[in-house]
Amino acid sequence: MQWVRWLRDVGAGDVGEVGGKNASLGEMLRALTGLGVAVPDGFAVTAGGYRAFLAASGLEERIAAALRGGDDLHAKSEAIRTLILRAPLPDALAAEVTAAYRDLCGDGPDLHVAVRSSATAEDLPNASFAGQQESYLYVQGEADLLDKVKRCFASLFTPRAINYREDMGFAHEAVALSVGVQRMVRADAAASGVSFTLDPESGHPDIVYITSAYGLGENVVQGRVDPDAYWVHKPTLARGHRPVFRRKVGKKELRLVYDPVGHRLSNLPVPEPERAAESLTEDEALTLARWAVTIEDHYAGRRGEACPMDIEWAKDGVTGELFIVQARPETVHSQRQGPTMRIYRLGGRGEVLAQGLAVGDRIAAGAARVIRDPRQMKQFRPGEVLVTEATDPDWEPIMKTAAAIVTERGGRTSHAAIVARELGIPAIVGAADVCDLLPAGQEVTVVCAEGETGLIMKGALPFEVEEVDASALGRPRTRILMNIGDPERALGLARLPCDGVGLARMEFVFASWVKVHPLALTRYDQLPAAVQREVDALTAGYEDRTAYLVDRLAQGIGTLAAAFWPRSVLLRFSDFKTNEYAHLLGGEQFEPREENPMLGWRGASRYYHPGYKEGFLLECAAVRRVREAFGLTNLQVMVPFCRTPAEGRRVLAAMREAGLVQGERGLEVWVMAELPSNVLQAREFAAVFDGFSIGSNDLTQLVLGVDRDSEQVAPLFDERDEAVKRAIVALLREAHAAGRRVGICGQAPSDHPDFAAFLVAQGIDSISLTPDAVLRVTREVLEAEGPAAAPAAQERREVGARR
């Protein structure tokens, strides 16, 4: 055949004839099917066929003349597409297309096929033409197929396609169009979505991020639904583990299906029970992740450099099979040059008007402009915040001039999210009813720099931007670690130049991800009926209520460990006080009222006590899942508020009951050094634990006898007091003599440069800091260490590393 090629016979060298998309599909069919990646077969009408059509119809000069004339983009587009649609396909081209279709159908009835446009300059590493041309689904029969091929040719001249080529500097005549024809995957009876081989928000390269929703994939791509999301850790996946370390159930409001009576696509509402269920199984998510890595590795090997991929997949609801239907290079994070980071910090707070999913990590301010219909685009002014229900490629001309974008619908792989990342502006998607909540012209600040949730705040609030070249920042001999609690910020914060996490707060995961007291699950029958109903709603979908806690806790902890892999993450077991535990759902039923919770039943004393031990065993089960099922053995644990060495041994015994054994698979168990007894009996504690982490807040409080929450004695609270510093010096001396490492995770070094210098001078092994202090204190530590300190400091590191 002259103008039709089977996809399995084309590859990278054929991009000029079949376009990036079809060349990619052909290469996958040929190279990856043998590796277990399923790709539906089909054929491509080449760019030569497109050119033959133009030549036979005498359209080249007429199209060129139309492009030169006038400034009305939409009028030019309409005129050119009308010319193409009215011209007949050459008989020879039509015969080749119908012959290939008959071969694809075999002896059976006419197949439904997907007909997709692929421009010959499409999906380059630095430009994505995806979505600029049209695609058609459930095309059936020869006449319908020939009509759709011609409509794909015409879509090379949609307003958005013309505009995109001009913006990217591509000559119109240099770009031709190929049409791919593939066997239709019956995703309308199952699910479909998008996979990225990096985290699309942070650019973290160790993640496969998968979205999924019921029905055909256009709803996910166009942002019409809030899809399910799955995060998979690539390094431990390669080691044979099952590291779906995080899952998020989306609303999945609509299901895009094919209506065989009306011969059209229809969006149908999804019943509530299906919305609450996951649209993929864990096994299916793992299969898609393995395929994504295989595809990424293939293209990286061919290019000789990293090649993150943006992949579309579909599940056939008739056969149950999964298929890859498109793959293209990711075009946002892969194009960032060098290690320079921009860190945004909000300088004030305002009333929160609306919220949704944050896209990117930036902040912007401007007047809100609510536009519900593309025909109202002329109302938009550069520098405003675009607020609308959802976007598609037709919106891109005004998106390019927006300060920020806010949409009512969509997820992280929606059109609005992808374009915002390409433009480098913040966006918030899935902000329910935001078009009704924001008055026209209201000055707002769009905040996407505080985690997964994006906030629209009233007023133009001040913010600052710090640019950091991480490669220019040296690494001190003292390990610089980070304090972190919020898993939603972990993938982004992991980009900061640090050696790991010195304090991961389990109680943050409890409060924001679990929300229920452990004993409200293990002693459910003791709860009042009203609280039981709340627990039932929270744990819906889990056969065992305790499985909910282990799963949610493991997801939060696993996110922290995956983000910083292979760097160490030191997780502190839950350290709520009794009054704080009582605030969890069902907690009041099981917590005593104490006069002084700060010195009461907290930390280690709870873990082996009959009044909480069953809750601690659930904490251990979550840690075990992260280390064993996810394979994230960089996760270590820490025991807070341990009053005596004997108490420490009782905690270790409780951990062993749960299958967490100190030393197995490299598990280290540290102790918070926050009590005078930890200092006075440092050698005895060193015989129980693998290391010490100084909690300077509690240590200062207890050494000085100062209630840190009391306004009257607050001026006396000072971590730099000589008594506190002597306690730290004594701990360092005794712990190092016993061959144990010592770090600090309290607030003091983040706040006081002189305190960080003191710690370095005393030979501290690590300093764990709040994220906003990491860069500043790293510089201060480098200055404090100086070249002369190197031999003595190195000797201390070697001593501290011995067990």
Residue 553 and residue 619 in contact, taking contact as beta carbons nearer than 8 Å: yes
What H or E segment, with its residue span, contains residue 117?
A: strand 112-119
**Residue found by looking up tokens 């906030």 in the block:** 455
Report the SS3 class of residue 413.
Answer: coil
DSSP conformational letter for 777: H
- Within 10 A of 15 (CB to CB), how many other CB atoms are there? 22
Collect all residues with Cβ–Cβ distance below 8 Å to 333 and sequence separation of at least 6: 198, 200, 203, 308, 421
Collect all residues with Cβ–Cβ distance below 8 Å to 787 and sequence separation of at least 6: none
Tell the burial category of 463 from Cβ atoms under 10 Å away from its Cβ (0-12, 13-18, 19+): middle
Beta-strand relationship, 453-458 and 42-45: unpaired
DSSP conformational letter for 510: I
E strands in 330-407 = 340-346, 352-359, 363-370, 385-388, 404-407
Report the SS3 class of residue 72.
Answer: coil
Q: Which residues are catalytic?
A: 415, 745
DSSP conformational letter for 454: E
Phi, psi angle pair for 340, to nearest 5°: -65, 135
Tell the burial category of 797 from Cβ atoms under 10 Å away from its Cβ (0-12, 13-18, 19+): middle
Q: Which residues, in sequence order, are bridge partners of residue 768?
A: 481
Two tokens, residue 519:
């004993």
What H or E segment, with its residue span, contains residue 534?
A: helix 529-538
Residue 145 and residue 42 in contact, taking contact as beta carbons nearer than 8 Å: no
Helix, strand, coil % over all residues of the chain, rounded to 5: 45, 20, 35
Tell me if the bond preceding 787 is cis, omega within 30° of 0. Answer: no
Q: How far out from the chain centre does Cα 433 lie?
A: 24
Q: How far out from the chain centre does Cα 239 lie?
A: 22
